[in-house]
Structure 1
Amino acid sequence: MTLAATSLRWSRGGNLVVDDVTIDPQPGETIGLLGPNGSGKSSLLRLLAGVDGPDSGAVTLDGTDIRTLGRRALSKRVAMVSQHSHTEVDIRVRDVVRLGRVPHSDVFGRDEGGDAAIGRALAVTGMTGHADRMWRAMSGGERQRAQIARALAQDPQELLLDEPTNHLDIQHQLDILERVVALPVTSYVALHDLNLAAMFCDRVVVLSRGRIVAHGSPVDALTSDMIERVYGVRASVAEDGRTPVIRYHRVREQESAGQG
C-alpha cells in the first residue's frame, strides 16, 4: 500500500478543478500526471500532499486517511517539490537541503541521521559540488535540483514533483528523471513533455478539466486520438520497443491534411 486517491473532488473559487479522481498505484511506481495547463495536475498534487483538503473523497497513506495524520508524521513519508519553489533568504545550498530534515529533528533541533541523508540527497541530484554555493548565485535549473535534494533529504517513501524538469536543459532533464525512477519510492510526477513521460513513467494519468480522460501504461494511454482530443494537436505515435515515441505535426501540416 502507498499514497492513493479515491473519488477526489475539489473546487476553488467556485470552479471544480479536481473531479472524481481515483489513483491506486503500486508501491514504487512512477505515475506521470499529464494534461494541458489548467487540467488540474498541480491541484491534484496539493491534495495528495495534504496541502489542501478535498471537498469529497479521500487521500490515503497505507489505507489511512491523511487528514487523520499529523503534519509531522505525514512529512516523514511524503515530500513535495512545487512548481515555484524558492526562498527569499540567500543561504547555502546545503542549508536549503537541510530544511528537508525538519520533520526528523527533535525539539532541540537534533537529527541523528541528518548529515548522511543530506549527503545522499546532494549526491542523487548531482549537487554535491554545489553544496556550499549561495542560493542567489545559482541558475534556475540548479535551484530546481537543490529543491529536489531538499525533498529527498526527508527520506520520503512517496515523492510528489510538479514539473521537475522546468528550467533544466535536456541532459539534466534526463538525468533527474533517471535518478527519480531509480529511487525506491512511489512517485507522482507532473509533466508537460509526453515523450519524457513515455520514457520514464510506469503509468500515466491524463487529466482534462480536472477529470481523468486516459489512464494506463504509456503504450495504452498515449495515443494519437487522445493527444488530439486533449491537447488539440495532431500527432503520430510510434513504438520504440515498448516506449511510445510521439511526433507532433506542425500547424501547416495539419491544415494541409485537412485540405487534402
Structure 2
Amino acid sequence: MTLSAKSLRWSRGGNLVVDDVTIEPVQGETIGLLGPNGSGKSSLLRVLAGIDHPDGGTVALDGRDIGSLGRRALARRVAMVGQHAHTEVDIRVRDVVRLGRIPHADVFGRDDGGADAIDRALAVTGMAEFADRLWRSMSGGERQRAQIARALAQEPEELLLDEPTNHLDIQHQLDILERIVSLPVTSYVALHDLNLAAMFCDRVVVLSKGRIVAHGTPTEALTAELIEQVYGVRATITDDAGTSVIRYHRLCTSVARP
C-alpha cells in the first residue's frame, strides 16, 4: 500500500480544479501526471501532499486518511518538490538539504543518521561537489537539484515532484529522472514533456480541466487521438524498443503580410 487518491475534488476561488480524481498506484511505481497548463497537475500534487485539503474524497497513506496523521508523521513519509523555491537568506546547499531532516529530529534537534542521509541525497542528485556553494551563486537547474536533494534527505517512501526537469538541460533531465525511477519509492511526477513521460513512467494520468481523461501505461494512454484532443496538437507515435516516441507536427498558419 502507498499514497492513493479516491474521488478527490478540490476548488479554488469557486472553480473546480481537481474533479473526481482516483489514483491507486502500486508501491514503487512512477506515476506521470500529464496535461496542459491549467489542467490541475500542481493542484493535485498539493492535495496529495496534504498542503491543501480536498472538498471531497480522500487521500490515503497505506489505507489511512492523511487528515488523521500529524504533519510530522506525514513528512516522514511524503516529500514534495514544487516548481519554484525562493529564499532571501543566502545559505549553503548543504543547509538547504538539511531542512529535509527536520521531521526526523527530536525535540532537542538531534537527528541520528542525519549527516549520512544528507550525504546520500547530495550524491544521488549529483550535488555533492556543490555542498558548500551559496544558494544565490547557483543556476536555476542547480537550485532545482538541490531541492530534490532536500526532499530525498527526508528519506520518504512517497515522492511528489512538480515539473522536476524545469531549468535543467537535456543531460540533467535524463539524469535526474533516471535517478528518481531507480529509488525504492512511489513517485508522482508532473511533466510537460510527453517523451520523458514515455521513457520513465510506469503509468501516466492525463488530466484535462481537472478530470482524468486517460490512465494507463504510456503506450496505452498516449495515443495520437488523445494528444490532439487534450493538447490540440497533431502527433505521430512510433515504437522504439518498447518505448513510445512522439513527434509533433507543425501547425500550418497563414501570416498576414503588411
- The corresponding residue for 1:216 is 216
3-state SS of paired residue (2:54): coil
CA distance in 1, matches of 2:216, 2:93: 38
- The corresponding residue for 2:151 is 151
Cα deviation, residue 247, structure 1: 0.1
CA distance in 2, matches of 1:243, 1:24: 23
CA distance in 1, matches of 2:221, 2:87: 37
- The corresponding residue for 1:160 is 160
Q: Deviations over 1:16-36 (max 9, x none)?
A: 000000000000000000000
CA distance in 2, matches of 1:10, 1:24: 18
Which consecutive residues of structure 2, in runs of 5 or more, have no partner in the other structure? none
Amino acid paired to 2:5: A
3-state SS of paired residue (1:121): helix
CA distance in 2, matches of 1:113, 1:214: 42
- Percent identity of paired positions between Structure 1 and Structure 2: 80
Amino acid paired to 1:6: K
- The corresponding residue for 2:225 is 225
- The corresponding residue for 1:55 is 55
3-state SS of paired residue (2:197): helix
Cα deviation, residue 87, structure 1: 2.0
Amino acid paired to 1:247: R
Amino acid paired to 2:223: T
Amino acid paired to 1:13: G
Amino acid paired to 1:2: T
- The corresponding residue for 1:26 is 26
- The corresponding residue for 1:102 is 102
Segments ≥4 residues shifted beyond 3 Å? none
- The corresponding residue for 2:116 is 116
Structure 1 residue 91 and structure 2 residue 85: aligned? no
- The corresponding residue for 1:236 is 236
The RMSD of aligned alpha carbons is 0.9
Amino acid paired to 1:10: W
- The corresponding residue for 1:129 is 129
CA distance in 2, matches of 1:241, 1:73: 42
Q: TM-score, normalised by structure 2?
A: 0.97
Cα deviation, residue 86, structure 1: 2.4
3-state SS of paired residue (2:42): helix
Q: TM-score, normalised by structure 1?
A: 0.97
